[in-house]
Amino acid sequence: MSPVDVTPVLVVSAHLDDAVLSWGGTIAALTRRGVRVVVLTVFAGCGGDPLPPYAEQYHSWWRASGTVAAAVAATAAEGMRLRRAEDARACAALAAELVHLDFTEALYRRRADGSPRCAAGDDLFSAPDPDDLALQRAVADALGGWIAELAPGEVHAPAAVGGHLDHVLTARACASALRDGPPGRWYEDLPYAMEPPEPGVPAAGLGPAAASPLTGGDWRRKVAAAAAYRSQHPMLWDDDWPDRLLAHAREAGGGTPVERHWAAAPGSNGDH
């Protein structure tokens, strides 16, 4: 392997699995060429207990699936420790470094008045409210600090395809942090981009995407890394997920597996 390029690429992930599922082949290709890659997850903090009702329902799916021990699924803190460990294994499989920020994902967040931010699944795809916008500014400040510290040559961030609230906040925060910073790439969010758009979620305006072709070896490393997120698979898809990922990648690349991205930063509504 060639010597590691000390100028890193910073890959920003909303949650503990998004960057690998969406962009893991490109991360594998970069590290294979000796580029230092740092995967930074924004919403990797432990939510408070007791769990909000919808989060409790989510944890009950964990218990029912048998992929997570009941004791681990009982609290937000234990669940997040498990997910951080999964992310560490996934990043190791890609030879990438990792950073976990302590912001709390929407599933566990409460508003300033103490009410749950998400009472049902649809709330995960709702428009940002004033509390979310304050959080977005805090995330932008944190990302700006890491960009200043790491001095990356590029920053890769989610394009917020599908309109998940945390992805929108992450994309907007990255766009803000990069106004006077290094160039950015905005990667296609999976598995959301593989599904029909949700009613009311803008699907147009993304423009033509660029494609990053992947070798067979890079693709296999992506799948091996994605397999580390065992706790998340029952909520995302069936056991055929590697085949579905590959079919999507080949369709996007006209037969050759690719990962898609945009060069333009998301607009104020998450579109490009």
- CATH number, domain at 78? 3.40.50.10320
Domain annotation covers residue 269: no
Q: Within 10 A of 174 (CB to CB), how many other CB atoms are there? A: 28
For residue 231, the model assigns a pLDDT of 87
Domain annotation covers residue 57: yes
Strands 35-41 and 154-158: unpaired
Domain annotation covers residue 268: no
Domain annotation covers residue 272: no
Q: Within 10 A of 58 (CB to CB), how many other CB atoms are there? A: 18
For residue 217, the model assigns a pLDDT of 97
Q: Supply the range of the domain harboring residue 57.
A: 5-262
For residue 206, the model assigns a pLDDT of 66
Domain annotation covers residue 232: yes
Residues of the chain with confidence (pLDDT) below 70: 1-5, 197-206, 266-272
For residue 203, the model assigns a pLDDT of 43
Domain annotation covers residue 267: no
For residue 41, the model assigns a pLDDT of 98
239-272: buried (b, 16+ CB within 10 Å) or exposed (e) per residue?
eebbeebeebbeebbeeebbbbbbeebbeeebbb
For residue 54, the model assigns a pLDDT of 92
Domain annotation covers residue 270: no
Total domain count, the chain: 1
Domain annotation covers residue 125: yes
Among 124, 100, 133, 142, residue whose Cα is nearest residue 198 = 124
Entry pTM:
0.93
